[in-house]
């Protein structure tokens, strides 16, 4: 389950803190799916045995925000796990990821807002990933934006605020 608590720091300043814990139940019946008439390589760990495991997980995060800016840090997977262990070797690992994000809201006039933001993602044993984003909002109802993930992807999004608690939108990434 997930739990979060927001601290009122005075004025418009708030700090949200969160923790999560859970489990993933993994079952792969790979050996029986090969079928008759096929010869298996006895050294192939993928088909050497069925795999059943329970993977525990925990995560933490913090999010400081006001009406004009925000910064957040989250680690949704604190426990590194492996989905399959065969003959003392681990396969299919779930790495620890860390996310740092921040953004600012510029009032261009009474109807238009410009919202640049960025996210930095780090996964153990992987290169750092940077997302640069810019959104424009009209009358706090319609929002459109572009995203660029350094050397990886570009994307666009549009959404409409149906109620103060509900937005409906569409996003597309080209990788």
Domain ranges in the chain? Answer: 1-75, 105-175
Contact 117, 137 (CB under 8 A): no
Tell me the mean pLDDT in the region 165-169.
Answer: 97
The position carrying tokens 């909002």 is 137
Spacing of C-alpha 39 from chain mean position: 40
d(CA 104, CA 115): 6
The reported pLDDT for the residue numbered 27 is: 72
pLDDT level of residue 52 (50, 70, 90 thresholds) = confident
Tell me the mean pLDDT in the region 92-116.
Answer: 92
Q: Has residue 112 got a pLDDT over 90? A: yes
pLDDT digits (tens, 9 = 90+) for 3-49: 999 999 999 999 999 999 998 777 766 656 555 566 666 666 655 55
Torsion of CA 64, 142, 149, 73, to 10 degrees: 10
More confident residue, 58 or 89: 58
What is the H or E stretch that residue 29 is in? none
137: nearest Cα among 155, 118, 104, 113: 113
d(CA 113, CA 91): 47
147: nearest Cα among 135, 129, 159: 135
pLDDT level of residue 85 (50, 70, 90 thresholds) = low
Q: Has residue 78 got a pLDDT over 90? A: no
């Amino acid at each position: 389950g997930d739990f979060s608590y927001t601290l009122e720091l005075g004025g418009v300043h708030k700090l949200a803190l969160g923790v999560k814990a859970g489990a993933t139940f993994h079952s792969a019946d790979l050996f029986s799916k090969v079928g008759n008439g096929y010869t298996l390589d006895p050294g192939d760990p993928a088909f050497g045995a069925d795999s059943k495991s329970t993977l525990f997980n925990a995560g933490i995060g913090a999010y400081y925000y006001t009406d004009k800016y925000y910064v957040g840090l989250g680690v949704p997977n604190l426990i590194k796990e492996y989905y399959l262990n065969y003959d003392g070797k681990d396969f299919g690992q779930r790495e620890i990821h860390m996310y740092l994000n921040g953004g600012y809201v510029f009032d261009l006039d009474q109807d238009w807002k410009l919202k640049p933001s960025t996210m930095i993602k780090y996964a153990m044993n992987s290169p750092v990933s940077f997302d640069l984003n810019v959104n424009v909002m009209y009358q706090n109802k319609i929002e459109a934006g572009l995203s660029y993930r350094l050397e990886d992807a570009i994307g666009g999004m549009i959404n409409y605020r149906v109620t103060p608690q509900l937005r409906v939108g569409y996003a597309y990434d080209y990788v």
